[in-house]
A and B are shown apart, each in its own frame.
Chain A
Amino acid sequence: MAAGRDSPLEDVFEKKLLLFILDFQDFSCMTCLDSFLGLYRQLPLRIKTSNAWGILVINAPEKEENKRVWIAEKKLRGFIQANQIVSPILVDRLDFLGGLAEEGSGVLLFDGSRNSVHRFNFPLAGYQFEEIFEILNK
């Protein structure tokens, strides 16, 4: 598995984009996000800052919408601080992307050179980690 800050992957990542889908419900179960953290830690720093984004999907009931957004934003702030996350993670305040989290948290891997999109749901099995870096390395 290729990994690390000086990885040659940095050169081929140019046309790749990682979009992390974080389901707010998984914040109640920190180990549910272990796969995200495990994968994120292995990405080179330049990729984290330029080619990786995240969306926090809330799916709030209408009457609790504002309160739920405030809670989600605060929890996300704590999560980012505690795990040294440097990629931008947006909160889906208007619930545009709720459908993306129907299968729970995961990652979408856009490959611009091949016009392909792959989705991996968390938790990831060991072979899926390898598959992700294989796609990124192509």
Chain B
Amino acid sequence: MRLFFALFMLLVPFCSAQGTHLEKIVLEEVLTIGNFDDDSLFQWVGVAVDSEGTIYVTDAMDYSLKKFDASGSLLAKTGRRGQGPGEFSAPRLLDCSKQFLFVTEQYQPVIKVFDKKLRYQFHIPLVGPAGDLKVLEDGLVAVVVLSANGQSHLEFYDREGKIVRKVHFSERPSSLLLDMVSFDLDSQGNVYLAYNFVDKIVKFDDRGKKLWSKNLLGIKQVKSEKISSYLVPTEIVYKDVALDRSGNLYVLGGKFSANRSRDVYVLSPDGELLSTLTLPDTSHCIYIDGENFLYSRANEGVTLKKYRMVYK
């Protein structure tokens, strides 16, 4: 009987959060950082949360990296406009390992690395500007590097900037930015990609073999604009992806979603659409921390919201 009870308790969270049992997710707001009067956030871009619940944010408006405690109080801030060590021209993506924080620059092929006290440590050179970033451990980061020839790769860099592994996900060369993706990695090394300008979500295994591919919105092609000699897509289909603790994939929709930049599609690890939730405000990204809290933007980047996800 005791064994049965233990098994039952172990299975309860999976039944409620993973697979076909998941029907509805309700967001309960638990924290707000940044209002109209304070100076904590001006235009946040990237967010990462460590195992202590400390929240790190890049702010493009004041060229900074900021650290908040779990209750939302600003603990520290670093950075200013510039090209030198610890300075930023347009800080963007952010992720953390046990020891370090990794920050990308929007237009520079580099990752700037800081310790948890926000002291600049070193940089990792990239072959092109980063389109998305995930940190696997202190000395290993996965980056989608934007490529001008229309064939981007997911590349794994060590701390010296050496590429130790590559996943080719482009099937054929495409127009500039059409193979731009957001991605996440699960604990088995599987890669989930959502194309930013194509209606396509794909899963690869850790050896780069495609497991499945989905399109959720039925979009054939997005509008493009000719800029210089390039044809550049201008309508975002999917903005970001994040995995929760159960391995479900959250995909933030862009222009074509019923609630533009607010609808989040929840897919099982097998690619089955389980549910759709709607953020209260438009966001450019979603982030899910180790405790399964979801973070998104509000008030055009002046505010960061943290939500508890309640599975119904």
Contacts and interface: CB of A to CB of B under 8 A. Distances in A.
B62 A81 contact: yes
B90 A78 contact: no
Interface of A: 27-28, 30-31, 37, 67, 70-71, 73-75, 77-79, 81-83
11 contacts: A27-B43, A27-B61, A31-B89, A71-B299, A71-B300, A74-B36, A74-B37, A77-B42, A78-B59, A79-B61, A79-B62
A82 B62 contact: yes
Contacts of B119: none
B61 A82 contact: yes
Contacts of B299: 67, 71
B65 to A, nearest CB: 13
Given A74-B36, A75-B300, A82-B42, 12 more contacts: A30-B61, A31-B90, A31-B106, A71-B36, A74-B37, A74-B42, A74-B302, A75-B302, A81-B62, A82-B64, A82-B80, A82-B81
Contacts of A75: 42-43, 61, 300-302
A81 B61 CA distance: 10
A30 B90 contact: yes
A73 B299 CA distance: 12
Nearest to B60: A30
Contacts of A77: 39, 42
B197 interface: no
A83 B299 CA distance: 22
A30 B90 CA distance: 7
Contacts of A37: 81
The 3 closest A-B pairs by CB, nearest first: A78-B42, A82-B62, A70-B36
Contact of B61 (A67, A70, A73, A78): A78
Q: Which of B61, B64, B300 has the most CB of A within 10 A?
A: B61
Specify the main secondary structure of chain A where it touches its partner: helix
Contacts of A83: 81
Interface string B4-40: 0000000000000000000000000000000011010
B250 interface: no
Interface string B293-307: 000000111100000
Contacts of A78: 39, 42-43, 59, 61-62
B107 interface: yes
Interface in B119-172: none
Contact of A71 (B80, B90, B302): B302
Contact of A31 (B39, B43, B107): B107
Contacts of B90: 30-31
Interface in B256-272: none
Nearest to B34: A74
B238 interface: no
A78 to B, nearest CB: 3
B183 interface: no
Contacts of A67: 299
Contacts of A28: 43, 300
A28 B106 CA distance: 12
B107 A79 contact: no
A41 to B, nearest CB: 10
B143 to A, nearest CB: 21
B102 interface: no
Interface string B276-312: 0000000000000000000000011110000000000
Nearest to A78: B42
A124 to B, nearest CB: 17
B114 interface: no
B204 interface: no
